[in-house]
Amino acid sequence: MTFASPSLLALPFLLLASGTAMAEDSLMDAVRDSARILGAAQYCDAPEDMTDEYIARAEGGFARLAKDDFEKHMARIEFKNLSAAASAKAPSDGCDAFLSRFETMLKSPS
């Protein structure tokens, strides 16, 4: 019997089954929070240089939290997937307020 290769959507379930679950640790919490922020920035059409800077900072944070290269890679994949999904929904306080906070956040030291 042959099996089709699992999709990226199935990876969290495979990780849970293998005992390598990262779902509740601080790395995945950071990924989820960062993805929501990036998604909102993309929804609100934040300038590309701002989103690029945010992505670089977020991925740097993931690298510091990750235990190994596998976790870094999984964090980047999850970040990309979750931010794409989050970009379909407006921030609860509207784009003007969000973009003002986003810009302020980027001006602060990382």
Per-residue pLDDT tens for 25-58? Answer: 899 999 999 999 999 999 999 999 999 999 999 9
The number of beta carbons lying within 10 Å of the beta carbon of residue 102 is: 22
pTM value?
0.76
**Alpha carbons 71 and 101: distance in angstroms, whole number:** 29
Residue ranges of domains in the chain: 23-107
Phi and psi torsions of 90, nearest 5°:
-70, 150
C-alpha 42 chain-centroid distance: 12
In the chain the first and final C-alpha atoms are separated, in Å, by: 51
